[in-house]
Amino acid sequence: MSLHGKRKEIYKYEAPWTVYAVNWSVRPDKRFRLALGSFVEEYNNKVQIVGLEEETSEFVCRNTFDHPYPTTKIVWIPDTKGVYPDLLATGGDYLRIWRVSDTETRLECLLNNNKNSDFCAPLTSFDWNEVDPNLLGTSSIDTTCTIWGLETGQVLGRVNLVSGHVKTQLIAHDKEVYDISFSRAGGGRDMFASVGADGSVRMFDLRHLEHSTIIYEDPQHHPLLRLCWNKQDPNYLATMAMDSMEVVILDVRVPCTPVARLNNHRACVNGIAWAPHSSCHICTSAEDHQALIWDIQQMPRAIEDPILAYTAEGEINNVQWASTQPDWISICYNNCLEILRV
């Protein structure tokens, strides 16, 4: 990277609207590329693809496309070798897969699991399997999780359209499901967990879907909004309850008892991101304008204080740790995206 010697610690991009969803591209040839989604309370929303220009050290918008409703989540295909088509998935009313080129982004397929109706239960979240990029999982307010098989059509010589089909659909919770995430355990393909309005964290195995394991239940049965697996140690995951100022760290080997509580935030937590390269670092962000990085190495001893704190100019509503560039974290607040070197 030609810039590396004179890199700034912070780069900022201002979008024309409030930014909510954001995700880093993992392709080796697109290092500082992110996708971000607007949060506008109407049907017409946007997604932008932005990149950091090496010469000017400024973010530029490479591409903007229309999106119905705000995207609840955006994820680039977890393809670190660059062998699949350059795809981007967005969640909202449906799961949409987009193909990105230098000049345009076009919709490849729209995945709707409700075959007998034009109406759909909105998707709250989804996850793209990092071990098998042909698998995605979605969570919905209709209490279900759906695992999708994707055909990316890797046929040389002609461009195949991407298509998808339902591999399995299961009732995961008693109420709305708010998040789903694949675990790296057991090969990283078959285990996933979900959280929802019933206040529980449940773990599933695609090979044995007839039963699930409840890993944790919120003592007050508050809805759990987010779920995040440790990237290096699949025994650990983090979750947070609605309107809560703390993040709970769980160990699947010790169900139902948190191994740590991270509670230095002074307002509701909105985001959680584990370090991609370390099993003991995690970043949390909240409406108190703060992004905090924690070292949880001393668990189960109490984790008193974060090791790093950054204060933004607004309520942080999303944080992402770049999986292929572990020195960089992105945060979103108001209409701004910032990437911070940690």
Joined tokens for residue 216: 């944790």
**Percentage, residues of the chain above pLDDT 90:** 71
> Whole-angstrom Cα distance, residue 129 to residue 186?
13
The answer to pTM > 0.95 is no
188 confidence band (pLDDT: 50, 70, 90): confident
User: Which whole number is the average pLDDT over 248-269?
Assistant: 94
> Whole-angstrom Cα distance, residue 338 to residue 341?
10
pLDDT of residue 150: 87
Tell me the torsion sign for CA atoms 110, 116, 118, 122.
negative
117: CB partners within 8 A, 6+ apart: none
**Percentage, residues of the chain above pLDDT 70:** 93
- List pLDDT tens digits, range 26-68: 998 888 999 999 999 999 999 999 999 988 889 999 999 999 9
pLDDT of residue 157: 46
pLDDT of residue 190: 93
pLDDT of residue 156: 45
155 confidence band (pLDDT: 50, 70, 90): very low
User: Which whole number is the average pLDDT over 88-117?
Assistant: 87
> Whole-angstrom Cα distance, residue 51 to residue 105?
15
Q: Report in angstroms the alpha-carbon separations of 88 from 130, 162, 309.
A: 14, 12, 31
Res. 114: pLDDT tops 70: no
User: Which whole number is the average pLDDT over 225-238?
Assistant: 95
Closest by alpha carbon to 249, among 270, 223, 226? 226
Dihedral pair phi/psi, residue 4, rounded to 5°? -55, -40
Query: pLDDT averaged over the chain?
Result: 90
Res. 119: pLDDT tops 80: no
Closest by alpha carbon to 99, among 81, 118, 79, 125? 79
171 confidence band (pLDDT: 50, 70, 90): confident
> Whole-angstrom Cα distance, residue 96 to residue 107?
7
> Whole-angstrom Cα distance, residue 192 to residue 308?
30
170 confidence band (pLDDT: 50, 70, 90): confident
User: Which whole number is the average pLDDT over 230-255?
Assistant: 95
pLDDT of residue 3: 41
CA 213 to chain centre: 23
pLDDT of residue 4: 45
118 confidence band (pLDDT: 50, 70, 90): low
252: CB partners within 8 A, 6+ apart: 185, 203, 215, 234, 235, 236, 237
- Parallel/antiparallel/unpaired status of strands 10-14 and 336-341: antiparallel
